[in-house]
Structure 1
Amino acid sequence: MARPGRSAFARHGWVQALATVLAGLIVMVVTAALGLLAAGAAGLPGNAFVSVDAATVVTAVGGTVKLSGDAGAIADTKAGLTVMPLSVSLAGVLTIAAGFLRHLRHRAVAGARELAGWSARIAVVWLVALVGLTFTARHTFTISLGNGMIGDIGELFGVAPKVGFTTDVPLTLLFGLLWLVGVFVLALLVSRGAPLPARVVRFQESVRPAAYAMVVLLLAYVVLGIVIGLVVAASRGHTAETFAVILLGMPNLVWLALTIGLGATWNGRVDGPFGLPMPHLLDEVLRTPDVATLDLRSLAHYDGRVWWLVVVDAVLILAAAFVMAVRSPARIRAWQHALHMAVALTLTVLMICLVARVYAHFGLSLLGIGDIDGGLSGVLFLKPRLWTALGWAVLWGLVTGFLGALLARPVHRRGEVA
């Protein structure tokens, strides 16, 4: 005769946790690999593709990749990189969240201990997998000095500059675990059928519709970006570059466009031989001698069609507010919807500002002579003016939340009384 706790253990056991983590990792590794292949990484020297793929997955979950250089006693190298490939992150979030929720379905209420036990099993397997990734994500490249003055100096002194990358294991495990906890929390907030502990059930009427609406909004932007990218690739070529953007950084671009359409301002600069996959318009605005301002006005100076971002924001955010109102009980008033939408949109924009920022730099000098030939140093960064972005999010949330509630009034909703 089976013991009472055995069915619960089978439902949320280690095998299921292993399957959930493996599914998430496989999806992320394959997505990153396909994106890197489309970006031309197949020709990386020294069989570095596997290491770069692992490093891409590490950064996608918030892990830290450290760049290092070694150019001998007469040379100096400096490098740094901070970026999240959000297409890879999104693929992992959707897969792991689905696996996490799959074993909680058909339940009205779950105890806090049961949820903690199921989450802990996945977390343990996840940390073990992250350890394997961190030790795979390391490699060293040798850099060519070219044929100019720096190349002659390097040949004279026998200098062969190298740059490599490793992972900071403790920070990667910490941020990777926080990333996983965020996936769990988001999954419980978004899914209407996911069970919650009895003590927090009373908060679901105000939180779950707003969280669901924000996830729908973000995914709608990604889908729209993919459609536009495929259309552009079919009509203008650059198929490989387009698929590289889709598989590595589509959310980076479309969520950036979401904030700019709201009125947010970003500061950035691209200088040197490298950059991130981005539309030509962004590269043109950012590739300036000084720090560039990225907003609707600066982009419109190069292409007036960017004002359509405001229209797209208005339509999609209002639709998200309508979805939130329809999924909420009828007794919630319009001003309450406005407040809920303002809070939800502000938190969403805050998340975008935190995960979409970019910083990368590399520099090399020999005997104090730096980058004479060009191509041996560069910098790329993109960061938001946070308080401006959040202020616009509050305003848009209040307006669209109120209008969405008015549009949802004719729709029959649960909780209505005569």
Structure 2
Amino acid sequence: MSRQPTTPRRGAANGLRDWRDALVAVVAGFAAMLAVAAAGLWAAGAADLPGGAFPRVVAAVVVLAAGGEVALTGDAGFLARSQAELSVMPLSVSLVGALVAGTAFLRPLRHRAVAGTREVLGRFARLAVLWLAALAGLTAAARTTFRIPLDGDSLLTGIGEFLDIAPRVGFRAETGPSLLYGLLWLIGVAALALLASRRAALPPRLAGVRETVGPAAYAMVWLLLAYVVVGLVAGIVDAATQGHPRRTFAVVLLGLPNLAWPALTLGMGATWEGRVEGPFGLPVPQVLDTMLRGEDRTTLNVATLAEQDARAWWLVVVAAVLVPAAAFLMAARSPARTRPREHALRMGAALALTMLVVCLTGRIAAHYGLSLLGVGDLAGLDGEVSLQPRLWAAVGIGLGWGILAGLLGALTATSGRRRAR
């Protein structure tokens, strides 16, 4: 009696194990993002929102953090009109989700020499299917509307009460764009995790790519995380010495990289432009909020910030220390045969790309206006918040800094290797 082959059973077992690994990564990633978003929103006072809206607001923040889109809504009946837009990414939540999901995705691929192309693609495909399914569930939950009572003695208030009209504002997650951008976000996280990790197995064809690109990817991840750590220390000191710790921790839990990573660009010489108008504001230090409130758009760079607070020059010092340190780390992880010129070009390209990503993800644009009978502002809700970089100038600055820092790091690493010999 012949024995039945066992390969199909082993293949089925491996397939179930791969699905389990993908499920663990998805659950861990979204659980971490939900926990951080809930804690940050609680610190910001969102737990007091009416109608049990807190869970829906948490879901909306996680959708934004995963690359999705959330649209603002508002109306006050057929006699009113509203205009609303929101473009912001809570990068603290995004960073936690990327770190947790990326680590869980790499875990089955560690401590191995190589992995087949089909295996790596299969693992990512399973991860993407489950990730998008979970994201679709969150987009379905991330929608609600608030009714805002009319207060005061203004003419518009009297008209609104006479017509029994009260403004409603709310939000809803856009399913199609959220799934598309969420997939792109996940692709970026998985690709960066594979390139930056030394221990994760890759197909043999990609081993040379990681040898070339991996040190630069690792150095950029290290640089961004270093700025987050510096910002975290500054936030803790601010909470301990300046008071209002709850507001400070809300900013830390929701948008710490939104402050720390633009600080990297400012320290290197980049320029941002912004404006704050109306009752809304940015979760930024008071000096910056004061600068942005005006009739015209405000130019933000180290010089203009230093006019308000001389401590802004420390941004240049921190950049002058951490950027060359990242370049040295990149050179130390690169093969010894790499030439200094190659280090410089790779560091320049990596830092320029990092500046591009920081500028694109750190932008803020929010506007809301609600008028009755086409006249004026209803209930004081009209406002605008914006913070935009001079994008291509920042990318060029990153390229120049990267080339100089890469050359310095390569020479320092080469000198160290010679002394070690």
- The two structures share one fold, judged by TM-score above 0.5: yes
Q: Given the alignment, which residue of 146, 149, 165 partners 1:159?
A: 165
Q: Given the alignment, which residue of 267, 271, 275 partners 1:269?
A: 275
Change (3 A) 1:241 1:331: same
Read off the aligned partner of 1:392 and give its amino acid letter: I
Instruction: Spell out the pairing of 1:196-275 with structure 2 (5 A cutoff).
Output: 196-275=202-281
1:84 equivalent to 2:89? Answer yes
Q: Given the alignment, which residue of 296, 315, 323 partners 2:321?
A: 315
Instruction: Spell out the pairing of 1:108-119 with structure 2 (5 A cutoff).
Output: 108-119=113-124
Distance, in Å, in 1 between the alignment partners of 2:23 and 2:364 is 33
What residue in structure 2 maps to residue 96 of structure 1?
101
Equivalent pair of 2:370/2:378 in contact (CA under 8 Å): no
Distance, in Å, in 1 between the alignment partners of 2:92 and 2:420 is 44
Q: Given the alignment, which residue of 167, 175, 180 partners 2:181?
A: 175
Alpha-carbon shift at residue 77 of structure 1 (Å)? 1.4
Instruction: Spell out the pairing of 1:8-407 with structure 2 (5 A cutoff).
Output: 9=14, 12-147=17-152, 148-371=154-377, 375-407=380-412
Equivalent pair of 1:262/1:310 in contact (CA under 8 Å): yes
1:334-380 residue CA offsets vs partner (Å, 9 max, x unmatched): 1111111100000000000110001001111111221276x220000
Alpha-carbon shift at residue 394 of structure 1 (Å)? 0.9
Stretches of 4+ moved more than 4 A in 1?
1-5
Distance, in Å, in 2 between the alignment partners of 1:166 and 1:387 is 32
Equivalent pair of 2:351/2:402 in contact (CA under 8 Å): yes
Distance, in Å, in 2 between the alignment partners of 1:210 and 1:334 is 14
Equivalent pair of 1:77/1:363 in contact (CA under 8 Å): yes
Alpha-carbon shift at residue 237 of structure 1 (Å)? 1.0
Read off the aligned partner of 2:400 and give its amino acid letter: L
Indicate the SS of the match to 1:301. Answer: helix
What residue in structure 1 maps to residue 3 of structure 2?
none
Equivalent pair of 1:326/1:411 in contact (CA under 8 Å): no
Q: Which moved more, 1:69-78 or 1:316-325?
A: 69-78
Mark the runs of 5 or more structure 1 residues left unpaired by the alignment.
Answer: none
Change (3 A) 1:354 1:8: farther
Q: Which moved more, 1:68-77 or 1:221-230?
A: 68-77
1:239-265 residue CA offsets vs partner (Å, 9 max, x unmatched): 001100110000000001000111111
Indicate the SS of the match to 1:252. Answer: helix
Equivalent pair of 1:11/1:103 in contact (CA under 8 Å): no
Distance, in Å, in 1 between the alignment partners of 2:334 and 2:303 is 37
> What is the percent sequence identity of the aligned residues?
56
Task: Using structure 1 for the length normalisation, give the TM-score.
Answer: 0.96
Aligned residues: 415
Equivalent pair of 1:24/1:96 in contact (CA under 8 Å): yes
Equivalent pair of 2:79/2:373 in contact (CA under 8 Å): yes
Alpha-carbon shift at residue 7 of structure 1 (Å)? 8.3
Change (3 A) 1:215 1:12: farther
Mark the runs of 5 or more structure 2 residues left unpaired by the alignment.
Answer: 1-5
Indicate the SS of the match to 2:366. Answer: strand
Alpha-carbon shift at residue 411 of structure 1 (Å)? 3.1
Distance, in Å, in 1 between the alignment partners of 2:366 and 2:299 is 18
Read off the aligned partner of 1:83 and give its amino acid letter: V
Equivalent pair of 2:157/2:378 in contact (CA under 8 Å): no
Alpha-carbon shift at residue 154 of structure 1 (Å)? 0.5
1:282-317 residue CA offsets vs partner (Å, 9 max, x unmatched): 101111111111111211111111111111001000
Distance, in Å, in 2 between the alignment partners of 1:42 and 1:36 is 7
Indicate the SS of the match to 1:365. Answer: strand
Change (3 A) 1:184 1:174: same
Task: Using structure 2 for the length normalisation, give the TM-score.
Answer: 0.95
